[in-house]
A = this chain, B = another copy of it.
Amino acid sequence: MQKYRLAIDAIGNDLGYQPLVEALETFKEANPNFIFTIVADVEKIKPLFKNFDNLNFINNPEKATLENVSLRQAQKQSSSMKTAFELLKDKKVDAILSAGDTAILLAHSTFVLERLTGVDRPAFMPVFPTINQGQKFLMLDVGANLEVKPSYIYQWAKLAFIFSKNVLGVKIPRLNILNIGTEDYKGFAWHREASQLIEADKTLAPFYKGFLEPRELMNGVTDIIIADGYAGNMVLKSYEGAVKSFGQLIKREITASFMKKMGALILKGAFKNAKNVLDHRNVGGAYVIGVDGLVVKAHGNSDKTAFLGALGQIKNALEKNIIMQFKNAIRE
């Protein structure tokens, strides 16, 4: 059975060590071929484990943070996250899991790790939910690269296509470029040039469905949406905000009278379901793709379930040998 080595930056989760430790204990039982290197305050995290099989520890209790420092300074400072990235850089592990600061994680991905040959920039790629239970889509980039070149979009399309087919198991992935309208003339010159690059690639062309507005994203109309990091980040945060605001408003509306409270009691599960379905944090981690190694970012307030989800995503990607598949596709 193939062994997989995973570095875990255990500092930075809002809920502390406990949810991660519980997730790891559960995950390890079913996956004895995984070897973990946990970067944390070792004295504090070690007593929380009952079972030490396949566990290594590296002491670095320093949290990657932007408090009082610039992003550039944060990258230079010692942190559990940086230690994890150095392990991946030195090929001592195959993957990283972190719930730490996204901006610093993206900076380390860009400046510490090696890029895959043929990929100009890494991209940050969360998995998004749709209103159709179980159906998901990939959106990238959502913040690593505010400005893009047409070639970035094309390269990311290639990577995400392989990812969608092999890791998410989508048989016929529908591929779109995010734009302010669906018409050919909309957006910037790079939108049109990236379209042409994708259309000229005979592997991707049959799956390319043109520009897509952010309006219909969650209705399951696409499997992969490629964006510049500026727009991608805006859309991600708008959806997050809208779902949260809508949830708050409904809560307020349905507690406005006794009768409504009765109705709300009956429907409690339905609201929770709806909010959970549309909360992209529950879908799993976000991937950094384009670098020579797997980097998965778990949400900053991950519970045991969220960490188990992220570990499952890493397992799936490693078993599908996604990095090798990326390399082969880019080489072609």
Q: Which residues of A contact B (CB under 8 A)?
A: 66, 70-71, 103, 131, 143, 146-147, 178, 180-181, 183, 185, 187-188, 213-219, 230-231, 233-235, 237-246, 248-250, 252-254, 256, 259-260, 262-267, 270-271, 273-274, 277-278
Contacts and interface: CB of A to CB of B under 8 A. Distances in A.
A234 B235 contact: yes
Contact of A180 (B66, B146, B265): B146
A248 B133 CA distance: 13
Contacts of A267: 253-254, 260, 263-264, 267
| Complex A-B, nearest 8 residue pairs according to Cβ-Cβ distance, in ascending order | A263-B266, A242-B242, A238-B238, A253-B270, A215-B241, A218-B245, A263-B267, A214-B238
30 contacts: A131-B249, A131-B252, A143-B180, A180-B233, A180-B237, A188-B230, A213-B237, A213-B241, A215-B240, A215-B244, A216-B241, A234-B235, A235-B235, A238-B238, A242-B242, A242-B246, A242-B278, A245-B278, A249-B277, A249-B278, A250-B270, A250-B271, A250-B274, A253-B267, A253-B274, A254-B270, A260-B266, A263-B266, A266-B266, A267-B267
A266 B231 CA distance: 40
A219 B146 CA distance: 26
A237 B215 contact: yes
A260 B270 contact: yes
A217 B245 CA distance: 9
Contacts of A66: 183
A237 B132 CA distance: 20
A259 B270 CA distance: 11
Contacts of A143: 180
